Structure 1
Amino acid sequence: MTKSTSLWGTWSTRSTSLWRRTATVLAAATAAGVGVGLVASPASAATSWETLTVPITTQKVSVLPVGTQGLFARSEGICFDASECTPTVRVWQRSGTAWKQLTPPADAAADTLAGTADDDLWVIGSRWSADVDFRIHHYDGSTWSANLNPEPKSLEINDAEAAGRNSVWGAGSVRGEDPDGSTTWHPAVGHWDGGSWKTTRFTDVEGTFDAVDVRNENDVWAVGSRGTQPLAMHYDGTGWREVPLTGTAGSMGTLREVFGNGPNDVWVNSGAKTSHWDGTSWTRHDFSADSQAVVSFSSYNGQVLAGVNTPTSQYPKLIRWAGTAWQADTSLTPGVRVNQLATGGDGSLYAVSSRGDGVLFSYTSYLSRLAAPTS
């Protein structure tokens, strides 16, 4: 299973609500060293992180682990005002300890990366013109395909994940039209079966999917929103069914992330609000403060971890689920916030972290790797 590389919401494509909390709560959390749902860490993880280079340190970066230690990456320039600049997006491949830039087709857009090997990369995204055109291109290690999206004017994929070389799942939406002629959007899932992309539409729902998680061909989750309400659906190999987030006090809004650590161990989140599916029901396990917004889930040696976007170093940027509460993990030192976590095929864990905003403070990206467990 290989996770896509979509970046974080307010900054880029997905998965971050930024921080907001009153000064009183912030001060209290700082003084206590721990907030609601977060327990103090008795010690840092015993295994140390290895520092790797990033393609461009001054740009936003995300990575896609493939194979055992193969890596692709996406870099994006910082641009706060679309009317004044257009962010430069590049695609990279790690060769040994160095990065080489790839050259996708001129009509490609690299909003999302997915794939399984050095010769199996999917580049997915939209060409923002007067008429939005959504593109899906494949790279086989030497040659790029033409656009493979069967519905480039209506099918949009916000997140994608490869279950295998001949099985890639993409979650997003399709454009529809009401009887009065107005445009509507319906959640949709695209699936590559080795020969073509096929689309499953949920036309009875107005909304979109923002994230997908694929454990295998018979265990796929897609999450997003139905209007302003959270939407979660599961595929069991025969069909899709909605799994309503009932029994979770308080509105979660749009679900930005989904991660399955097992068939009965699934996590979804909306900012600091997080719910867990145990195979029967959902239970809320929120983070300590609204100032913390999870941007990525992953696992290491069977444990679930979450990368957190925080305003300052006074909050933990990496937390792990301790069975009853979230525990601060202080083992990762670079950066102030974690923008992405990703597990490699050999069980290693990659973390992209950063500090600065590129405007008031210089922006710096970091890439760290936790070697695969030896046991």
Structure 2
Amino acid sequence: MKRVITVVATAATLASLPAPAFAGAPELRTVSLPFLWSRSELFEVTPDGAGGVWAGGMQGKYCVRWGDLCPVYSDGNPVVRRRVGSSWQEYPINGWTGQGEIARIASSGGETWIAGGPSASTSSSRYVARFDGSAFQNVTVPTSSINMLATGPAGTFISYWDMDARVLKRTGDAWTAVEVPGFGNINDLQGLTATDVWAVGDREQPQVGSVPAAAHFDGVAWKSVPLPAASGNDRFLKVVPVAANNVWAITEKYLMHWNGSAWSPIAPPAGYADFADLTVDSSDIPWVAPEESASPLKAPYRYSGGKWEAVTVPTGIEVHDLATVSGVIWGVGRQGDGAAAVNGS
């Protein structure tokens, strides 16, 4: 029998969800990085599954301006580094050609994948590779570009757009199509187990535009999950399942919580830019990072005890991607013309 989920919240209903309070103000401190050619930036940070982290981005990007034009420029070169203990390690990125950046890293259960290409942090990636323990090996995908890369208990997935959302799962040495209903784009796919998986993104709604979309996989089939009524253009960006009745996610405009039967939207901090990333710490407290915006810079926030708390970061550092690694929060971004990394708890 088809499961029916009743939605009890609307986008106008802002939830205040209780969460354990932390003692003292949250603070992230600078982590030293290996030398990177300016201009450099990190776009992605994720746990490596062994207590360390992977970070990806670019270095050596430049533009020689002539008025409003940029006749001489470089998209830079891809950067992938792994932090093990207190040192960073670099591995070959085999099969890469040309310039560009690594903007997507997915790592879980001994599998690590990367994706990138020219300006991939703001568009689709065309290069996909799997880590074999000593180097990244290029993996052919049956599309010219992808917009989502994920790996976890349910397997490794990519998504791309071809008049509608298309999802492919890695099966042996091939990619197999997966039917996920109700999407125009899938932006993230994460699972607790092979039978408890979430996909989030957006779909087009007449006279409204893009609205959030979500689906759940129970080990047998994907089923669309109803959402609060949308009040305008918005889309899901990230999802972090903690338990079957405890799932956090972000749209561009809201922090969202799933309690097992309904989504509750939580308004962002006052004056906050659109969200860019989400992680949930070991105390079930969500942390969010802002989308890049004009000055003044916006700090990451966490939602603790039913209220937003600004996270202190070193002056001038922009943090746009977050991860929880062995109870420690990591963030990456840039400081001026150089890449930046921070961590703390």
SS state at 1:93 partner? strand
Q: Residues 171 and 279 (structure 1 numbering): CA distance in 2 closer, same or farther, change over 3 Å?
A: farther
Partner of 1:197: 175
Alignment partners' CA distance in 2, 1:50 and 1:310: 20
Deviation of the 1:349 alpha carbon:
1.9
Alignment of 1:69-218 (within 5 A): 69-77=51-59, 85-88=73-76, 89-107=78-96, 110-116=102-108, 120-125=111-116, 134-149=126-141, 151-153=142-144, 156-164=145-153, 167-175=154-162, 184=163, 186-193=164-171, 195-202=173-180, 207-218=184-195
Partner of 2:40: 59
Partner of 2:234: 253
Q: Residues 336 and 272 (structure 1 numbering): CA distance in 2 closer, same or farther, change over 3 Å?
A: farther
SS state at 1:110 partner? strand
Alignment partners' CA distance in 1, 2:258 and 2:89: 40
Identity, in percent, stands at 19
Deviation of the 1:292 alpha carbon:
2.2
Q: Normalization by structure 2: what TM-score?
A: 0.73
- The superposition leaves residues 122-174 of structure 1 with CA deviations (integer Å, 9 ceiling, x where unpaired) of 1224579xxx994432121225444242x234xx432323225xx53334224
Alignment partners' CA distance in 1, 2:234 and 2:271: 14
Alignment of 1:266-277 (within 5 A): 266-277=247-258
Q: Does 1:240 align with 2:214?
A: no
Contact 1:353 1:365 in 2 (8 A): yes
Alignment partners' CA distance in 2, 1:42 and 1:134: 44
Q: Normalization by structure 1: what TM-score?
A: 0.68
Q: Residues 105 and 218 (structure 1 numbering): CA distance in 2 closer, same or farther, change over 3 Å?
A: same
Deviation of the 1:285 alpha carbon:
0.7
Q: Residues 161 and 336 (structure 1 numbering): CA distance in 2 closer, same or farther, change over 3 Å?
A: same
SS state at 1:317 partner? coil
Deviation of the 1:107 alpha carbon:
3.9
Matched residue type, 2:131: Y
Deviation of the 1:261 alpha carbon:
2.8
Matched residue type, 1:210: N
The structure whose residues are more often strand, as a share, is 2
Query: How many residues get paired?
Result: 306
Deviation of the 1:342 alpha carbon:
0.5
SS state at 2:93 partner? coil
Partner of 1:23: none
Contact 1:59 1:75 in 2 (8 A): yes
Alignment of 1:351-362 (within 5 A): 351-355=331-335, 362=336
Alignment partners' CA distance in 2, 1:354 and 1:198: 37
* Residue 294 of structure 1, aligned match among 271, 275, 279: 275
Matched residue type, 1:275: M
Deviation of the 1:310 alpha carbon:
6.7
Alignment partners' CA distance in 2, 1:74 and 1:115: 12
SS state at 1:85 partner? strand
Contact 1:298 1:306 in 2 (8 A): yes
CA RMSD of aligned residues (A): 3.7
Alignment partners' CA distance in 1, 2:344 and 2:125: 38
Q: Residues 148 and 309 (structure 1 numbering): CA distance in 2 closer, same or farther, change over 3 Å?
A: closer
- Structure 1 unaligned segments of length 5 or more: list them: 1-35, 176-183, 356-361
SS state at 1:157 partner? coil
Contact 1:159 1:210 in 2 (8 A): yes
Deviation of the 1:50 alpha carbon:
5.1
Bigger drift between 80-89 and 258-267 goes to: 80-89
Partner of 1:28: none
Contact 1:112 1:158 in 2 (8 A): no
Q: Residues 190 and 104 (structure 1 numbering): CA distance in 2 closer, same or farther, change over 3 Å?
A: same
Alignment partners' CA distance in 1, 2:211 and 2:263: 15
Matched residue type, 1:349: I
Alignment partners' CA distance in 2, 1:285 and 1:193: 38
Q: Residues 276 and 206 (structure 1 numbering): CA distance in 2 closer, same or farther, change over 3 Å?
A: closer
SS state at 1:272 partner? coil
Deviation of the 1:300 alpha carbon:
1.8
- The superposition leaves residues 322-349 of structure 1 with CA deviations (integer Å, 9 ceiling, x where unpaired) of 2433x214344454532111012x3322
Q: Residues 363 and 257 (structure 1 numbering): CA distance in 2 closer, same or farther, change over 3 Å?
A: same
